[in-house]
Amino acid sequence: MTQNRKGILLMIAAVAAFAVQDGFSRHLAGNYNTLMVVMLRYWVFAAFVIMLALRRPEGARTAVQSNRLWAHLMRAVLLVVEICLMVWGYTMIGLINALAIFTICPLVVVALSGPILGEKLSWQRWAAVGIGMAGVLIILRPGFGVFSWPALLPIGSAVLFGTYSVLTRLTTRDEPSFPAFFWPAVIGAVLITAIGLPHWQAITPQDWGFVACYAATSILSNWLLQKCYETAEASAVQPFAYLHIVFASMIGITVFGETLAVPVILGTALIIVAGIWALWNEKPPMEAPHD
């Protein structure tokens, strides 16, 4: 229980750091092209995981060995495209709206875990997916002139990250989790550098400070999340990941002057309730006491 409490605090700190990182992403991508911003993020991410690998007690080479490099390559491509879509979405519809739609991601994982992982999905978990989709419709309000094509960016991002997450479960079934953390960062850095470097733009002196803060929060957020999952059970800390939208909304309102519409609040609340319900129904039933 004490470890789970520590894990919850680490998760809250991690999502707060991710929200700050999202704020820097939104600012930088508003002044520079998205590919370049994501490339800078990946350089820091790759350097972070390489540093972790070098500090592994079993040695870096052993720590990163994997028999599923094809899957890690696929995951790397999914993650690069997902981050690009999400950062682009920040600049098009703002932090609040983009992350409100993205909260559907855990339910995408539920829906995909059946066909990809072969998990048996109960009617309660399918109902949670349906409720979550209803929440997205409340946010988008199609038919009222609110829906626009940029809303497809966080939807696509959620689907891609959900697929990435399910493939992560698949790759960690029969080998340690560290290669699944290491390879998407390194392979992704190579991919985005090849794509993003030709689009390099000169960074103004005042924005180098934002780049440095962006790099620092990128390292901090990933480190906190890694420590969180090392400390506590995932089922105990996962509901607190939804605080990401709360912290991001605070940044969107106070820093970028975004507004929080009532349908966005209602739709996001519905998605979060559905996500927590799906997580609850994922837990195995408790055994009856023996006589």
Within a domain: 34: yes
* Predicted local confidence at residue 285, as pLDDT: 42
* Predicted local confidence at residue 42, as pLDDT: 93
Query: What is the secondary structure of the chain as a DSSP string?
Result: -HHHHHHHHHHHHHHHHHHHHHHHHHHHHHHS-HHHHHHHHHHHHHHHHHHHHHT-TT-HHHHH--S-HHHHHHHHHHHHHHHHHHHHHHHHHHHHHHHHHHTTHHHHHHHHHHHHH-PPPPHHHHHHHHHHHHHHHHHH-TTTT---GGGHHHHHHHHHHHHHHHHHHHHTSSS-SHHHHHHHHHHHHHHHHHHHGGG--PPPHHHHHHHHHHHHHHHHHHHHHHHHHHHS-HHHHGGGGGHHHHHHHHHHHHTT-----HHHHHHHHHHHHHHHHHHHHHSPPPPPPP-
Within a domain: 81: yes
Residues 6+ apart with CB under 8 A from 34: 84, 87, 88, 91
Residues 6+ apart with CB under 8 A from 12: 240, 243
Within a domain: 258: yes
Within a domain: 125: yes
Q: What domain range is 120 assigned to?
A: 2-282
* Predicted local confidence at residue 288, as pLDDT: 40
pTM beyond cutoff 0.75: yes
Within a domain: 290: no
Q: How far apart are CA 141 and CA 243, in angstroms?
A: 24
Within a domain: 60: yes
35 and 97 in contact (C-beta within 8 Å)? no
Q: Is 193 exposed, middle or buried (0-12, 13-18, 19+ CB in 10 A)?
A: middle
Residue 132 Ramachandran class (φ > 0 left, ψ -120 to 50 alpha, else beta) = alpha
* Predicted local confidence at residue 172, as pLDDT: 81
Within a domain: 291: no
* Predicted local confidence at residue 28, as pLDDT: 95
* Predicted local confidence at residue 144, as pLDDT: 60
- In tens digits, the chain (291 residues) has pLDDT values of 577 888 889 989 999 999 999 999 999 999 999 999 999 999 998 999 999 999 999 999 999 999 889 999 999 999 999 999 999 999 999 999 999 999 888 888 888 888 877 777 778 878 888 888 888 888 887 656 556 888 899 999 999 998 998 888 888 878 888 898 899 999 999 999 999 999 999 999 989 999 999 989 988 988 898 788 778 776 678 788 888 999 999 999 999 999 888 888 998 999 888 888 877 776 544 444 443
Which of 71, 56, 69, 75 has the alpha carbon at shortest distance from 178? 56
Within a domain: 164: yes
Tally of structural domains, the chain? 1
Q: How far apart are CA 151 and CA 107, in angstroms?
A: 18
